[in-house]
Amino acid sequence: MLLQLNKTPIILIGFMGTGKTTVGSYMRNQLKLSYMDLDQYIELKEHMTIPQIFDEQGETHFRDLEYKYLKDTLNKFDIISTGGGIIENQASLDLLKLQKNVIWLDCDIEIVFERIVNDPHRPNANNKSLNQLKNLYSSRISRYNEIAFMKVNSNQNVSDIYQEITTSLTSD
Ligand code: S3P
């Protein structure tokens, strides 16, 4: 498939555990495009894990790093998956609003909960009940919606998600 990106990256957004990294890697393999997971990029550049950054420098500092490296990755990669909380930072939100191909992956919060409950690598999911996670999810939905070009139900297999995204991008 020939996808004309015209230097506009495909950016995957959505809550934790909605499959952004899985879909991003799958798209990279299928489309032979460059791909980066923003969390992974931050860890590589900062030589720290995400939980270490949260613990030692705090979430606000992590959000600043997210913004800094988002700017970086936008100019370097064709496909980027972002962390679920990127929309918590106004500067990141504003920057994402300017991007064309922002894809929102979304699925039932109960499914997300099963996937991420007590994940030690996710400080904002660790030790959270289903209700607490639901509240966090609800507080973020309008911002995902505000910046997304399309919303995809990610409670389906990855090849179907891929088909849905590429069909929409090529029928522009
Ligand atoms: C976060 C989501 C994580 C990561 C960090 C904070 C959040 O990314 O950026 O742990 O606040 O939702 P994933 O969405 O890839 O889990």
Per-residue pLDDT of the chain (172 residues), as tens digits, is 556 666 799 999 999 999 999 999 999 999 999 999 999 999 999 999 999 999 999 999 999 999 999 999 999 999 999 999 999 999 999 999 999 999 999 999 999 999 999 899 999 999 899 999 999 999 999 999 999 999 999 999 999 999 999 999 887 5
Q: Tell which residue, 149, 105, 121, has the closest CA to residue 8.
A: 149
- Nearest ligand 1 atom to the CA of 37 is 15
Residue 81 is which amino acid?
S
Query: How long a stretch of residues is the chain?
Result: 172
Angle at 130 between CA 143 and CA 158, to 5 degrees: 65
Q: Ligand 1 within 6 A of 86 CB?
A: no
Q: What is the pLDDT of residue 57?
A: 98
Q: Ligand 1 within 6 A of 140 CB?
A: no
**Cα distance between residue 122 and residue 151, in whole Å:** 23
Q: What is the pLDDT of residue 171?
A: 76
Beta carbons of 42 and 50 less than 8 angstroms apart: yes
Q: Ligand 1 within 6 A of 39 CB?
A: yes
Q: Whose CA is nearest to atom 7 of ligand 1?
A: 85
Q: What is the pLDDT of residue 75?
A: 94
Q: What is the pLDDT of residue 29?
A: 97
- Nearest ligand 1 atom to the CA of 123 is 10
Q: Could you give the 3-state DSSP secondary structure of residue 84?
A: coil
Q: Whose CA is nearest to atom 10 of ligand 1?
A: 122
Distance of CA 93 to the CA centre of its chain: 12
Q: Ligand 1 within 6 A of 122 CB?
A: yes
- Nearest ligand 1 atom to the CA of 51 is 10
Q: What is the pLDDT of residue 47?
A: 98
- Nearest ligand 1 atom to the CA of 16 is 14
Q: Whose CA is nearest to atom 15 of ligand 1?
A: 83
Q: What is the pLDDT of residue 172?
A: 57
Q: What is the pLDDT of residue 91?
A: 98
**Cα distance between residue 24 and residue 9, in whole Å:** 12
Q: What is the pLDDT of residue 6?
A: 63
Q: Could you give the 3-state DSSP secondary structure of residue 8?
A: coil
Q: What is the pLDDT of residue 127?
A: 87
